[in-house]
Amino acid sequence: MSRRTFIKLSALAGATVAASRIFSHPALGSVVYSPELPDGEGVITEKWVPTSCLNCTTRCATRVRVVNGRAVKVTGNPLSRVSEGENCPRANVGLQVLYDPVRITTPLKRTNPTKGRGIDPGWTEISWEQALNEVGDKLKNLREKGQPERLLLLSGLNTVSAEDIIHRFADAYGTPNVVSADGLDNEADKAGEWMADGHYTQSAYDLERTNYILSFGASILESYEPLARSLRMWGKIRRERPIRAKVVVIDPRYSITALRADRWVPINPGTDGALALAIANVIISEGLYDADFIKNWTFGFDEYKKLAIDYYDPETVSAMTGIPAETIRQIAREFAGTRPAIAWRGRGATSWPNGSYTSYAIFCLNALVGSIDIPGGVTYQENPEYRLMPEFAEDDTASKGRAKPALDLRKTNLFPAAEVVTNQVADSILENKPYPVEMAMGFNSNFNMSAPGAGRWDEALGKVPCYVHAAPFISEMAEYADIFLPLTTFMEEWAYDHSPPGSGFAEARIKQPVVEPLYDTKSNIDIIFNIAGRLGGTVEQSFAGIGNGAEGYVKYRTAGLASWEKLLEQGVWVGPDYEYYKYDRIFHTPSGKFEFRSGNLEALLKEQGEEVNSLTGLPYYREVEFLGNNDDYPLLLSTYQPLLNVENGSQNYPWAQEMYLVMHGAGWTNFIEINRRTARSLQIKDGDTVWVESPFNKIKAKARVFEGIHPGLVSIASGQGHHAYGEWAKGIGVNPNEIIGVDYDRLSGQSALFNTRVRVYKA
Ligand code: SF4
């Protein structure tokens, strides 16, 4: 079917249903209507099924309208307090995920032993029995050799329930190697909070009650999750109450969030940490801080004060950031004087080599104005208490395997605070360090597209003796598989879910099939239960009594929340109201207080034999080291995630492609955004085809001359440039990860995404 025909048919299906207008809109549940059509053409059966979305990790509660067995519409669930019944524009793309014509309908086996980009794997169809037998045999063999750690599990965008089961399988099998995508863009954010209060997490911001938001590179309205909640709360605090919250956005690029804010303050790339300290300088020197909170609930204030006052006065920092000193003073006074206020850190500020320290410096601003665990400040996310599973059964093989160092080198001298270092894994595979990988399994992952230095993942997966990929589609990563296991999409499966930090209070969602699986596919939870059964012994025992498959497992885990019938009918469970001011128990630090000098970090580094000096535990700013020299590569490259970048790794969705770059009114492409002044100096005109070349690689793209970008920076939207998937994704736009260098925030191991230098010239 051609793209045009598909769009027409989809639109026609929607229009036909909408035009009939003969059904009331049920508030809840799977109510079924079977009225006769007036013209007697037949009977239409309609139902609304509560479930949840998985086009990003917000995992919103939704309801799907199903007409005559076909899903035709997605809306929010009004019982969700997190999103207040709303969802984001990307939710409806779930229909095109479900009905994507390039979905794989049966297990596949590779016949061509040669692997590489663009090389035909020579797929042949096999039965589930054969596929799972072969996977089971290989896993069994590795355990029998006493090398379970040589199994690598790669996890992309999955439900919370699938992530839980993948980890249980890894523990029971005996591998420390579960690697998620978090190490690509979330970890520096988390490490910064951990340094201050001992919580290795992203912050929850009480957006609903705040009066002032100071965003450091946070893409609140496009990609920061929980997105649907942020969109809803944004409307509430800007239009629906007497006091309109003010928003100031610090960003070298004019983003959608900057466009909707009260003030956009462009900044020299990579200098957000210095700005945060200059704001602290003004707040402290003018006595604008919350003296009670500082006195009673913080540690290390005097050293932090000395750091900010001695080194980060607005004039000095103005020269670093390019922001006038008077603007820095205005922002500081406004932030401290408009309470409650939030200092919000995003990947634009933290995806740099010293990102953890920048995250820490920004987070400390919240403590300065007392915005910790108060209404309208930073809160501590509560999660649903799923029913505990019994301890997994462990044999000698599993305990020895789990004790081996992890392939991503987390918690070593290289990445001391890291919980996952996603991009390191490609190099570990290539160098056989700390040991060779014998087998890998990917679950909805696509690091060959989404990780910087993407080509290294091609080489690495080409080297793994047995690679199994589970997903609904053939992605760039799946092209390296020896066995491909076709997954159900999120509208066909059972799961439980919740959002990343944002609401404060807990909320769980039940994902239930809105339609029967369209093809011979299985969910990743069912696959793992099945494989565990084939392995026998302690691995099989670890999966006994917890449900025997996806539906039973979800029922088991959610048993303490509400009755199964109620969960299915309502689709959500909402926990009690959030409790603020828990200062006597929320700080997990050596002092039991919020720490401006991080005892957690100092203790960790000492434990690892590292030297700790008077600066180590403070949120100081260090100038960024760039990849590439300034003479040959005079510009910096950044990326951003547009709202219509569907996070399951595919972009084979016409609705999303059609409005991919909202800011530019363009779809089916991405651009290299370049400032008008810079473009003129390079004799580049809007629409020209140009090369963007880094020290590592080069790509060809269309130039978009754009006032809203720092003259020293160029930017490319991520999510395009696929060389796999279907005709609506393949060959459209470019993938900036092909030219970004490999570098890390040292403490957290997060990829440093924005410190690669490039040159741009006409093709
Ligand atoms: S925010 Fe994410 S999970 Fe929620 S509707 Fe949008 S894409 Fe789906």
Fill in the DSSP letter of residue 261. S
Give the binding-site residues of ligand 1, using a 6 Å CB cut-off: 53, 55-56, 58-60, 87-88, 90-91, 227-228
List the one residue out of 578, 561, 445, 443 whose CA is nearest residue 497: 561
Give residue 510 CA to ligand 1 midpoint distance, Å. Answer: 15
Q: What integer pLDDT is reported at residue 39 of this predicted model?
A: 54
State which CATH number among 3.30.70.260, 2.40.30.170, 3.40.50.740, 3.30.1130.10 fits the domain covering 108-180+385-497+513-570: 3.40.50.740
pLDDT band at residue 221 using 50, 70 and 90 as cut-offs: very high
Closest Cα to atom 3, ligand 1: which residue? 59
Other C-beta atoms lying within 10 Å of the C-beta of residue 298: 24
Element spanning 336, H or E: helix 325-337
pLDDT band at residue 58 using 50, 70 and 90 as cut-offs: very high
Architecture of domain 3-98: Single Sheet (2.20)
Q: What integer pLDDT is reported at residue 392 of this predicted model?
A: 94
Give residue 574 CA to ligand 1 midpoint distance, Å. Answer: 18
pLDDT surpassing 50 at residue 158: yes
Q: What integer pLDDT is reported at residue 17 of this predicted model?
A: 34
Closest atom of ligand 1 to CA, residue 52:
3
Mean pLDDT of the region 720-746: 97
Mean pLDDT, the chain, integer: 94
Give residue 225 CA to ligand 1 midpoint distance, Å. Answer: 9
Fill in the DSSP letter of residue 663. G
Residue 187 in contact with residue 195, Cβ under 8 Å? Answer: no
Q: What integer pLDDT is reported at residue 1 of this predicted model?
A: 39
pLDDT surpassing 60 at residue 36: no
pLDDT band at residue 305 using 50, 70 and 90 as cut-offs: very high
Closest Cα to atom 7, ligand 1: which residue? 55
CATH class, domain 187-380+586-607, is alpha beta
Closest atom of ligand 1 to CA, residue 83:
4
Give residue 34 CA to ligand 1 midpoint distance, Å. Answer: 30
3-98 and 635-740 agree in CATH topology? no
Give percent of the chain above pLDDT 90: 93
457: amino acid identity, one letter: W
How confident is the model over 533-583, as pLDDT tens digits? 999 999 999 999 999 999 999 999 999 999 999 999 999 999 999 999 999
Give residue 54 CA to ligand 1 midpoint distance, Å. Answer: 7
Lowest mean pLDDT among 256-270, 497-511, 642-656: 642-656
Farthest CA pair distance, the chain: 83
pLDDT band at residue 43 using 50, 70 and 90 as cut-offs: confident
Q: What integer pLDDT is reported at residue 318 of this predicted model?
A: 98
How confident is the model over 81-97, as pLDDT tens digits? 999 999 999 999 999 99
pLDDT surpassing 50 at residue 419: yes
Domain map (residue ranges) of the chain? 3-98, 108-180+385-497+513-570, 187-380+586-607, 635-740
pLDDT surpassing 50 at residue 633: yes
pLDDT surpassing 70 at residue 220: yes
CATH assignment of 635-740?
2.40.40.20
Between helices 187-197 and 355-368, what is the axis angle to 10°? Answer: 50
pLDDT surpassing 70 at residue 693: yes
To test the pocket of ligand 1, the residue of 51, 52, 53 to mutate (highest count of ligand atoms within 8 Å of its CB) is: 53
Mean pLDDT of the region 479-495: 98
pLDDT band at residue 27 using 50, 70 and 90 as cut-offs: very low
To test the pocket of ligand 1, the residue of 57, 82, 87 to mutate (highest count of ligand atoms within 8 Å of its CB) is: 87
Tell if the pTM clears 0.85, that is, is over it: yes
CA distance 447 to 181: 8
How confident is the model over 130-156, as pLDDT tens digits? 999 999 999 999 999 999 999 999 999
> DSSP letter string over 601-662?
HHHHHHHTT----TTTTS----PPPPBS-TTT--EEEEEE--TT--TTS----HHHHHTSBG
Closest atom of ligand 1 to CA, residue 87:
5
Mean pLDDT of the region 508-532: 97
pLDDT surpassing 70 at residue 741: yes
Closest atom of ligand 1 to CA, residue 646:
7
Q: What integer pLDDT is reported at residue 23 of this predicted model?
A: 34
pLDDT band at residue 25 using 50, 70 and 90 as cut-offs: very low
Closest Cα to atom 4, ligand 1: which residue? 60
More confident call, 15 vs 196: 196
pLDDT surpassing 50 at residue 369: yes
pLDDT surpassing 70 at residue 321: yes
Q: What integer pLDDT is reported at residue 752 of this predicted model?
A: 98
CA distance 232 to 91: 14
Q: What integer pLDDT is reported at residue 545 of this predicted model?
A: 97
In the 3-class helix/strand/coil scheme, how is 119-181 assigned residue by residue?
CCCCCEECCHHHHHHHHHHHHHHHHHCCCHHHEEEEECCCCHHHHHHHHHHHHHHCCCCEEEC
Fill in the DSSP letter of residue 541. H
Q: What integer pLDDT is reported at residue 454 of this predicted model?
A: 93
Give residue 78 CA to ligand 1 midpoint distance, Å. Answer: 15
